[in-house]
Chain A
Amino acid sequence: MNGRFCTAGLLAVFTAAASAAPLGLPPVPVPADNPQSPAKIRLGERLFNDARFSADGKVSCATCHVPAKAFTDDLPVSKGFRGLTGTRNAPTVINAAYMKTLFWDGREPDLEGQSKQPPVNPVEGGLPDHAPLLEVIRKDPGYVKDFRTVFSVEPEDIDMDQVAKAIASFERTLVSGDSPFDRYYFGGDSGALNAAQQRGLRVFTGKGRCVSCHRIEQTQALFTDNRFHNIGVGFRKIRGREQETARQFLQAKRAGAKVDVAVLTREKVSELGRLAVSGNLTRVGAFKTPTLRNVARTAPYMHDGSLATLEEVVDFYNNGGRVRESDPLSPFLSGGIRPLGLDAQEKRDLVAFMKALTSPGLDRLATRGGRNHD
């Protein structure tokens, strides 16, 4: 079973039978202009792990998306070059291939667009632009050979589109389903979930109303609706300053300010959420619904990493979008967020259910992802 997570198994999946997606997941969508190939995936993996693409030579994609930590970093908000911190929690790369937008605010439409931003963000890679990164690649004989094989380009023609395509191809291999939940729900194995987890599933789809956004479909479950919701997280950081923050940011944006720089370097602007990307006043503080697959392995939680445990997350929702019942509610709260009235048993069961969303073989993914190609 774990064989599907080894490189050979994955390559078989992506070069031959798309229908061999893991239990509970659909085939990975692959854009027509970036087909998977074994050589491209290998190249992408090497680029993903290359720390030279940063101002201090210490930050790679894998710095915040650590293969051994389920491709996250265990930190509330990620650390970039020279230890600088941003405003957002690193989401896992596992199953990011299914996301319809990337980043918590969905500011990029696909994986190809996503990987171009961090190297040149002032609190992430810290490079002034992509030129130094391309210089490293063009002077590295191994990369030159690989880019020639994969993209049929000479060193001077290597560009960021190709770099991003290779990284995206690698990321499209980081998929994992086949969790106890999948075996129970889609695989017909009624013993795959214990009694508490089965009760938790009922809370998840019933009284807890989690499934409204973290979706389970008839034949698959991505545990996301790929939409943006204000669930109350981070509201305290911007409370009473929404008008001023939105006005100043939207004016700066019209004058040319970059969204990714502003949201990662300014805490209040970060809390504008999807509004910062779309300018739409109905998206204040709205962030993308993350998948819940492997959620037991991806603490801390929420876009700002402000909740440390799954128990805290459940309490947050149970209180209607706030840490404590006495906390103020965001006026911009999404309609679906309201006090749930879960009792202690239901909360425990819900947490037990979320722990049944962990895929086997994550460690095998990690071993593969962590391999040093240098």
Chain B
Amino acid sequence: MTDPKRRRLLKAGGALLAAGSLPLSLVELAFGKDRREHFSFAYLSDSHITHVRGREFVRNWDRGLIRAVAESNLLDPRPDFIFYGGDIAQLGKPEEIDHGLEILSALRGEVHHVMGEHDYYLDLGEHWRKRLGPDHYSFDHKGVHFVVLNSILTFDDWTYHRWSSAAERMHQMARLDNPQGSPFMVGESQRAWLKKDLDTVSHDTPVVVFSHSPLQKIYKGWNFWTDDAEQVQALLQPFDKVTVLYGHVHQIQYNQIGNISFHAAMATAWPWPYPSSYRQQAAYLPKLTVNMNRADPFFERDATGWQFIDLDSGKVDVHYLLPGNRNRVVAWDGKAGHPVDTRYQAEADRIPPQTHY
């Protein structure tokens, strides 16, 4: 491990980010000797572009995405690519996907996409695939193996035989705590594809997996959940360094299960509360995660944002850019063997939530 050097860097990076500065140039300097080992990419997610009528779309979601695109375009040095974490659309309409992609077209750089359930359940991903290509694939970049999975599939019976219309199916899947809902899954055929894909990759190659839903089980009622998560994890555990990056949850989450680190992305649209605040059902928010405090409803972009991600020696540091909030950095801690928040991880360093009365 490059731990001593890395710890110094994290310290510097954290302090600078606290003041709000960009640490990227420092990172480049510190790892200049072996640039293959270090690179960064930007990650935007969950814009939920919502069509109203004609050329009219919900303004707030448009503005959230427009702003994240403009801000991420300021990253210097440029990230190697941009990843979009799914749910461009709210109700899967071609208008919504097209409008979202039009806004995303202002991004400077190559963009990879993962399918979200809001992109899928109207036409079963037909328009999305027409615009963006296959919904699961892999690629290699600077020594890291990247895998994109469609994790928002569900039982065929639910998808094909339950609903009177495609729109009804979409609306059902968009609901929270829906007794008519159905859990997400990667599914057997994609798992078989994944196994085959990973067979050709050596175990010391860092692997980064993109999914829309968490490939871990947190809260079923909101599909913070993938039903075959354990089976997917089993395929990933043999690798020394694995990271799963997911959208869907609209909040900071991170976890470590065996060799696998998990990180969630912020939405550009709106924040979800943490399921732990919802007491009627069991929720399994990773203990490791330091929650963001409740969003301020008077502050339209509060608890939304986007992130850029540093990969160093195959391990991931996530820099959360949070309009109106102090930015956060969740970085790999080699000593602890899991990701930590560089500012708030220790209990004593956290900001107590406001007490309402």
Contacts and interface: CB of A to CB of B under 8 A. Distances in A.
Interface of A: 212, 227, 242-243, 246-247, 250-251, 254, 278-284, 331-336, 338
A333 B74 contact: no
Given A227-B324, A282-B321, A335 B76 contact: no
A250 B76 contact: yes
B19 A331 contact: no
Contacts of A338: 59-60, 63
Contacts of B298: 212
A283 B71 CA distance: 9
A331 B69 contact: yes
A280 B108 CA distance: 19
Interface residues of B, number: 32
Given A250-B76, A254-B25, A278-B19, A332 B324 contact: no
Q: Residue among A254, A279, A331 with the most chain B CB within 10 A?
A: A331
A284 B301 CA distance: 14
Contacts of B321: 280-282
B20 A279 contact: yes
Given A281-B71, A334-B323, A335-B64, 16 more contacts: A243-B74, A246-B76, A250-B21, A279-B19, A279-B22, A281-B321, A282-B71, A282-B305, A282-B324, A283-B20, A332-B71, A333-B67, A334-B300, A335-B60, A336-B299, A338-B59
B20 A247 contact: no
A284 B20 contact: no
20 contacts: A242-B70, A246-B76, A247-B74, A254-B25, A278-B19, A279-B20, A280-B327, A281-B71, A281-B74, A281-B321, A331-B67, A331-B69, A331-B70, A331-B106, A332-B67, A332-B70, A333-B63, A334-B301, A335-B300, A336-B299
Contacts of B60: 335, 338
A283 B298 CA distance: 18
A62 B218 CA distance: 61
Interface string B288-330: 0000000000111100010000000000000001111001000
A282 B298 CA distance: 18
Nearest to A211: B298
Nearest to A212: B298
Nearest to B22: A279
B172 interface: no
Contacts, number: 72
Contacts of A333: 63, 67
Contacts of B70: 242, 284, 331-332
A250 B69 CA distance: 19
Interface of B: 16, 19-22, 25, 59-60, 63-64, 66-67, 69-76, 106, 108, 298-301, 305, 321-324, 327
Given A250-B76, A333-B63, A282 B69 contact: no
A100 B149 CA distance: 48
A331 B299 contact: no
A332 to B, nearest CB: 6
The 6 A-B pairs of least Cβ separation, nearest first, read: A335-B300, A280-B20, A278-B20, A331-B70, A279-B21, A335-B301
Contacts of B106: 331
Contacts of A282: 71, 305, 321-324, 327
Nearest to B305: A282
Nearest to B108: A243
Given A243-B73, A247-B74, A335 B25 contact: no
B22 A281 contact: yes
Given A242-B74, A282-B321, A336 B305 contact: no
B19 A284 contact: no
A337 B204 CA distance: 49
Given A279-B22, A282-B327, A335 B63 contact: yes
A223 to B, nearest CB: 15
Contacts of A278: 19-21
Nearest to A279: B21
Contacts of B301: 334-335
Contacts of B76: 246-247, 250-251
Given A281-B71, A281-B75, A335 B327 contact: no
B31 to A, nearest CB: 18
Contacts of B299: 212, 335-336
Nearest to B77: A247
Contacts of B74: 242-243, 246-247, 281, 284
A251 B298 CA distance: 35
B343 to A, nearest CB: 14
A305 B299 CA distance: 26
Given A250-B76, A282-B305, A335 B323 contact: yes
A281 B76 CA distance: 10
Contacts of A280: 20-21, 321, 327
Nearest to A336: B300
Contacts of B25: 254
B56 to A, nearest CB: 13
Contacts of A279: 16, 19-22
B353 to A, nearest CB: 19
Q: Residue among B59, B64, B298, B323 with the most chain A CB within 10 A?
A: B323
A250 B22 contact: yes
A246 B78 CA distance: 13
A241 to B, nearest CB: 12
A332 B22 CA distance: 18
A334 B21 CA distance: 20
A242 B74 CA distance: 8
A335 B76 CA distance: 25
A283 B64 CA distance: 14
A250 B327 CA distance: 18
Contacts of B322: 282
Contacts of B66: 331
Q: Residue among B16, B73, B106 with the most chain A CB within 10 A?
A: B73
A286 to B, nearest CB: 9
B341 to A, nearest CB: 18
Contacts of A332: 67, 70-71
Contacts of B324: 227, 282
Q: Residue among B63, B73, B106 with the most chain A CB within 10 A?
A: B63
Contacts of B67: 331-333
A318 B87 CA distance: 31
Contacts of A331: 66-67, 69-70, 106
A216 to B, nearest CB: 13
